[in-house]
Structure 1
Amino acid sequence: MDKAWEQYLLEEAHIVFKYLLKIGATKEDAEDVVQEAIIKTIECLSQVQTGKLRAWLFKVALHRYYTLYNKNKKSVYLGDEEMQKFQSSLNIEELLLIEEQNEKLREALQGLSPTYQQLLMMKYFMELSYKEMAAILDVSENHIRTYLQRARKTLKKQWEDL
């Protein structure tokens, strides 16, 4: 494996790592999952199409994470680090309101399918473009737009039902 390819693989793995943290993986779980994904990618290198490395890594990592998640029955949580950044500048009432809204959002998100959760996280927490999301998931941009719209509508309904 040449150095340029190795560097590219590590850059892609770092993106996967950040995504896993955003969807609620602990740092240790994310490290383990990414390491397993890298090993699996290297083992199956002949099966990975040129230009599809990121999609392959994401699929392997997400499959492994969801297997681990379902096995451990962990709750997905969002933005604890982000919340800590804001807590120092807010009063108690504001903090309680934000925490209540975050809990409601968590409940609404958990009521969605893993696919919809994944799309919403990629778009709004990782701030990926439709093109980037399509490349990661190995689907068309139109597919991403359609499913993301459905995910938004479903999330809105879940939110209203709470």
Structure 2
Amino acid sequence: MNNEKEDILTSYLIDLGEEVLKLLLAKGAIKEDAEDIIQNTFYKVYTLLDDLNESTLRPWFFRVALNEYIDLKRKKEQQNIYLTEKVYSKLQYTECEFDAILNKNEIFFLLRDIRKEYKEVFFLKYYYDFSYEEIAAMLDVKVNSVKQKLYRARNLIQSKAGGKR
């Protein structure tokens, strides 16, 4: 890579890092954790630079940083959760938003056996409060795809909870 291209890439990555840092801070990350996540993501970018292209770099950067934030938050909040009949009964109210009827630890517990693609979208929406549009941008998919995966995830959780009653 010539110097001009390196300078353009470096400038783009710095801007991208600042954008993702602001997003992580807005989602509740403490500054030190957010900075560590960005630094780790930069490292991963440079190790995989040959495999990334302009169109995939931005969504990949968001995804890697966000996954690292989710993992960090999960480690900090890891607890054993025992679901009760009360939790399962809450799931009967399908018109309600999940975050209104379940606490975040209950959501985390219910997601443990759900397919990764559904789990990721579900976490982003109900655990981290991202909008459909933000999730679509991060995962580089259409908004309707996000809505469809959320719908399927909710149905899987409800059927799983219903099956244990």
How big is each residue's C-alpha offset from its partner over 1:29-63, in whole Å with a ceiling of 9 and x where there is no partner? Answer: 11101111012112211211322222111222233
Amino acid at match of 2:148: T
Q: Confirm or deny: 8 A CA contact 2:124 2:135 kept in the other structure.
A: no
Q: How does 1:65-84 map to 2 (within 5 A)?
A: 65-70=69-74, 73-75=75-77
Unaligned runs of 5+ in 2: 79-98, 112-118, 159-165
Identity of aligned residues (%): 32
Q: Confirm or deny: 8 A CA contact 2:37 2:68 kept in the other structure.
A: yes
Matched, 1:143 2:145: yes
Show the counterpart of 2:66: 62
Q: How does 1:55-134 map to 2 (within 5 A)?
A: 55-70=59-74, 73-75=75-77, 105-107=103-105, 109-111=107-109, 113=111, 114-115=119-120, 116-120=122-126, 125-127=129-131, 129=133, 132-134=134-136
Name the larger-Rg structure: 2
Q: CA RMSD in A?
A: 3.7
- Could you state the TM-score of these two structures normalised by the residue count of structure 1? 0.55
Counterpart CA distance in 2 for 1:52 and 1:8 is 13
Going from structure 1 to structure 2, the CA distance change for 1:110 and 1:142 (only over 3 Å counts) comes to: same
Unaligned runs of 5+ in 1: 77-100, 157-162
- Structure number with the bigger relative contact order (C-alpha 8 A, sep ≥ 6) is 1
Q: CA deviation at 1:19?
A: 3.3
